[in-house]
Structure 1
Amino acid sequence: MDITRLTAIDVHTHALASVTEKNRPATGSDLLAGVFGTIPELTVPELAAYYRERSMAAVVFTVDSITRTGKPPRVSNEEIADQAEAHADVLIPFASVDPGRGAAAIRMAKRLIRDHGVRGFKFHPSDQGFFPNDPTVYPLYDVIQEAGLPALFHSGQTGVGAGQRAGGGIRLKYSNPLHLDDVAVDFPDMPIIIAHPSVPWQDEALSIAAHKPQVYIDLSGWSPKYFPPQLVAQANSLLKRKVLFGSDFPALTPERWFADFEKLPIKDEVRPLILKENAARLFGLSGSAQEKGE
C-alpha cells in the first residue's frame, strides 16, 4: 500500500455481501434501514473498487454475533481477509470473533492471524452481548495483544435493532466506552479504537483517549455535523493525534462525511492527521509523515 497516493484512510467499513452469493438484489437490503435508509450490499472486491476510485484505503470487516443471533456472519472472516489480500493496495482486513464462542474464539483468532493475515479485530459489545472488561474475554485479548494488533470496539448508540420491538434484543449498556478503560489498563500493548462518537457517553470516550496512550477514537457512523462540540474541540487540539477518520460505509458514504467535515472548525494542520496520518502511524504503514521525520 503506497499511502503517498492516498487522500484518506477510512478505518471503519463493512463488507455486507459474499462473492459466492447468487441473485443478490441490485438495490441493496433494508439492513439498518430504520437509521440509514436502504444501503447497498457490497462484496469485498466491490468495496475495493469503490475506494480505489477515490484514491482512499479502508479497513474492512464483518460482525460475528452468532451466540446472540444463532447465525454466522453473512461474509466470513476468511473471505474478507483472502479477498482483501488481492486488493492490498487499498484494503486492510480486520476480523470479528464473537467472544461468546469461548475457547473456539481463541482458536479462531489464532488461525485468522496465522493463516489469513488479519490486521486487527472488530468487536460490537451490544450486538455480541458482552461487557468488554469481562475477564472471561481476556484470553482472547491476550492473543490479539501478543500479535501486536489493534482492537476496534463499537461504542454508544447503535443502528442495529433501532426501531424494532425491544430494540431487536440489543442492550446498549454493553457499549459504554468506560468499560474499555479496564481493558486499556490490563492490555497496555493492545491499541484500542473506540468506534463512533459515543452517544450518549462522549465525555467518557474522550477522557479515556486522553488518559491512555494506546486508545484512539474513530469518527464513523455519524455525519460530522452531529458531532458533539467537545469532540470537535478535542479532535482539534488535545486528541489531534488520537482521532481517526471512519465513515461506517456503506451506511454512510465518505462523500457525505467529507462534505460535513469541511464545515467543522478543524485547523488546516490537523485535517491530514485525522484523515490519514494518524491511521498510517497506528497501522505502521510506510510513507507516513512521522516516518519521514516531518
Structure 2
Amino acid sequence: MNVDELVAIDVHAHVEVSAAGHPALPEHLMAGSTHYFKVAGDRAPGVPRIAEYYRQRRMAAVVFAVDARSATGHPPVSSEEIAEACVAHADVLIPFGSVDPWTGRAAARRARELVERYGVRGFKFHPSLQAFHPNDRMAYPIYEVLQELGVVALFHSGQTGIGAGVRGGGGIALKYANPLDLDDVAVDFPDLPIVIAHPSFPWQDEALAVATHKPLVHIDLSGWSPKYFPPQLVRYANSLLRDKVLFGSDFPLLTPDRWLADFETLDIKPEVRPLILKDNAVRLLGLGARTDA
C-alpha cells in the first residue's frame, strides 16, 4: 500500500455479504437499517466491488463484518473470508476481524489466528449488536491477545441504526454502547489501541473525556454526516484531539462521497484536515511511509 498516493483512509467500512451471498445481518435488521440510513443503490457489495469503489477514489478502507452469532443466532460473514479476499486488494483494503465475545477464550484463540495467519490489523466490536458491555471480564482474554499483538480494537458507540424503527428495536439494547465502559478497558489494557466509533450520541461528552484522558483512545467520525456533528466534537477535533480523530464513513450505509462533501463545509482548521483524513490512521494502523502491504 502506497499511502503517499492516497487522499484518505476510511477506517470504518462494512462487508455486508459473503462471496456466496450470505448477509451479514438477519433480514429484519438489514431492512431496518436500510430504511434508517435511507440507503440508495446496492446495500451489499462484495469485497472486490468495495475495493474498486475505493480505488477509483484513491482511498483505502478498513473493512470488517461483526460476529454476533451468540446474541442474534445469525452466522456472520467470515472474518477469514474477508481477510483472504483482501489479499488481492492490499493496495486499498485493510482487513479487520471480528470474534464473538460470548465465546471467551475460544474467541481469544481465534483472534490470535486471525492476526498471525490471516494478517488482520484490528478487530471490530459492536457492543449493542453483540449484547455485551466492553468492560465485562469475559472479553478480557480477547483484549489480552490484541494488546500483545499490537492490533487495534474498534468499538461501536452510542445509538445504532441497526434495529432502529423495528419493533422493540429488533432486540438491540443501547445500554451496551456507552463509551465510558471503554475507560475501564483502557485502564486495564494501557497498551491496547482503542477506537471509539461514531459521534457517541447521547454520550458524546463521555467519549471526549475518555479520548482526552487515555493516550491510546481515538475517535472515528463514521455514521453521521459531518454537518450534524455536535459542536464540542468539532472543537476537540480542532484542538486536543487533532491527532486522535479519524475519518470513517460507515460504508455502505453512509458513503465516503457524501461524508467528504459535508466535511468540506465543516469548520475544521486547514492543518487538521489531513490529520483526520489520512495521517492519524497511517500512524494508528502502522502503515508506514510507502510500501507497507
| TM-score category of the 2 structures, normalised to the smaller one | over 0.9
Find the counterpart in structure 1 of residue 220 from structure 2. Answer: 218
| Contact map agreement 1:30 1:37 (CA 8 A) in 2 | no
How far, CA to CA, are the matches of 2:136 and 2:16 in structure 1? 29
Which of 189, 197, 200 is matched with 1:198 structurally? 200
- Matching residue's letter, 1:65: A
2:146 corresponds to 1:162: no
Q: Is the 8 A contact 1:12 1:59 kept in 2?
A: yes
TM-score (normalised: structure 2): 0.93
1:7 aligned partner, one-letter code: V
Equivalent residue runs for 1:83-162 within 5 Å: 83-162=85-164
The Cα of 1:21 is off from its aligned counterpart by 2.9
Give the 4+ runs in structure 1 shifted more than 4 A.
none
For residues 31 and 14 of structure 1, what CA distance do their matches in structure 2 show? 16
Q: Which residue of structure 1 aligns with residue 51 of structure 2? A: 48
Rounded Cα–Cα distance in structure 1 between residues aligned with 2:109 and 2:69: 16
- Residues 207-262 of structure 1 show CA distances to partners (whole Å, capped at 9, x for unaligned) of 11101000000000000011000000110111100100000000001110011111
CA distance in 2, matches of 1:72, 1:44: 18
Q: How many angstroms apart in 2 are the aligned matches of 1:216 and 1:176? A: 15
Mapped partners of 1:45, 1:33: distance in 2: 22
Q: Distance in 2 between matches of 1:267 and 1:102?
A: 43
Aligned partner of 2:287: which letter? L
Q: Unpaired segments of 5 or more residues in structure 2?
A: 23-29
2:61 pairs with 1:63: no
Shift of 1:137: 1.0
Which amino acid counterpart does residue 200 of structure 2 have in structure 1? Answer: S
SS where residue 253 of structure 2 aligns?
coil
Question: Aligned Cα RMSD in Å?
Answer: 1.3
Aligned length: 281
* 1:114, distance to aligned residue in structure 2 (A): 1.8
Q: Which amino acid aligns with 1:91?
A: L
Maintained 8 Å contact 2:34/2:253? no
Consecutive unaligned residues of structure 1, counting only runs of 5 or more, are 23-28, 289-294
Q: Could you tell me which amino acid in structure 2 is paired with residue 16 of structure 1?
A: E
TM-superposed deviation, 1:34: 2.8
CA distance in 2, matches of 1:154, 1:119: 17
SS in 2 for 1:207: helix
Greater shift in the superposed pair: 127-136 or 279-288: 279-288
CA distance in 1, matches of 2:197, 2:104: 24
77-86 vs 104-113, greater mean Cα deviation: 104-113
Q: Distance in 2 between matches of 1:109 and 1:270?
A: 34
Distance apart, 1:165 and its partner CA: 1.0
Deviations 1:164-217 (A, max 9, x none): 111011110100000000000100111000000000000000011101000000
Offset, 1:57: 0.2
Contact 2:198 2:223 in 1 (8 A): yes
| Contact persistence 1:62–1:95 (CA under 8 A) | yes
2-structure distance, mates of 1:216, 1:171: 24
Which secondary structure does the structure 1 equivalent of 2:200 belong to? Answer: coil
Does the CA-based 8 Å contact 1:125-1:154 persist in structure 2?
yes
Contact 2:102–2:138 at 8 Å: present in 1 too?
A: no
Q: What percentage of residue pairs aligned between the two structures are identical?
A: 65
Shift of residue 31, structure 1, vs aligned partner: 5.6
The amino acid that maps onto 1:3 is V
What CA distance in whole angstroms lies between the structure 1 residues aligned with 2:285 and 2:70?
30
| CA deviation string 1:135-157 (max 9, x = no partner) | 12111100111111010000000
Q: Partner of 1:21 in structure 2?
A: 21
Q: 1:176 to 1:149 in 2, by over 3 A?
A: same
* Rounded Cα–Cα distance in structure 2 between residues aligned with 1:117 and 1:287: 19
Q: Which amino acid aligns with 2:239?
A: S
CA contact (8 A) 2:104 2:141 kept: no
